[in-house]
Chain A
């Protein structure tokens, strides 16, 4: 069963990446579809990260004592100001492990 999941997921992922690179596919995605898809990266990535940050132990935690939240805020500011991926991730993760470890 696990292998079936792995292989079918791999097929879904590969097709989504490869399909529109094929010259034989006569794609004419409508302008509306393309506009809708243009929001998929921010929407999906946010939907994955938000529960990690706001609901770390299965309960809503909007508090400065939640290291996930404080470090995510720091990461957001760093990303906005520096636009530098490595700096943003390394500094915010460093802060997180500093705050998180007892």
Chain B
């Protein structure tokens, strides 16, 4: 009995790890141009190659990295950068909240590891596994999550490295239009989440204000737009009693 277990468990761990890696592959491929942009843009505004790579290796948050780089370029202080980072990253509080029941019983090393790897993409594939596979609906697989999270981490860092290498040899890499990759990835993530009218209101308010602020070059535009969008979505839901009518859990 014990020998069979010691043979079968590692192979099922490996299987879960690999299926997690496979599940995150489309998102990893989609993020490559964006990682290249993160690496080359960091070099362009004057970071060293090691600092540029460290952003992806230590912070590991694409949108926060790119927005912070833009702020560093504009000469904005560290306080504003950190407040903006907090706002951009605040959605992870919600992801952690949603996965709390599954991850918090795990040993510390797993909590730290999966916490570090918790991105939009890892959250997306973890939820896919839940809705797609009825049998394992309530069974969170730590190896699946690790496979997905680690694959995405490695992919992001390789892409950043490519950007650093390319940025050193090609001028004006930022003008190749790689920033469209950010827009395309976020559209692909946001559109399927618009399941309620209040989310549509939130997106439209955020979009309008972000564009207005960009036109007038208002530096706190991201903060203003995102917080207003969140407030508008919530107000709409309250006013129309949306939550009571269509109470769909988000996870």
Contacts and interface: CB of A to CB of B under 8 A. Distances in A.
Contact of A12 (B85, B103, B214): B85
Interface in A26-67: 27, 29, 32, 34-55, 58-60, 67
A17 B95 contact: yes
A47 to B, nearest CB: 4
A96 B29 CA distance: 17
B187 A79 contact: yes
Contact of A18 (B111, B180, B210, B222): B111
Contact of B100 (A3, A20, A37, A43): A20
A81 B57 CA distance: 35
> A-side binding surface: helix, strand, loop or mixed?
helix
Most chain A CB within a 10 A radius of its CB, from B27, B104, B207: B207
Contacts of A8: 78, 82
Interface stretch (B4-12, B151-159, B161-169, B198-206): B198-206
Interface residues of B, number: 92
> B-side binding surface: helix, strand, loop or mixed?
helix
Interface string A9-21: 1101110111111
B170 interface: no
B15 interface: no
When A and B form their complex, which 9 residue pairs have the shortest distance between CB atoms, in order from nearest?
A: A18-B115, A86-B26, A43-B229, A51-B214, A79-B191, A20-B96, A89-B30, A47-B225, A50-B210
Interface of A: 1-10, 12-14, 16-23, 27, 29, 32, 34-55, 58-60, 67-68, 71-72, 75-76, 79-80, 83, 85-86, 88-90, 92-93, 96-97, 100
Interface of B: 26-27, 29-30, 33, 47, 51, 54-55, 58-61, 63-68, 72, 78, 81-82, 85-97, 99-100, 103-105, 111-112, 114-116, 118, 120, 124, 177, 179-194, 198-199, 202-203, 206-207, 209-211, 213-215, 217, 221-222, 225-227, 229-231, 233-234, 237, 243, 250
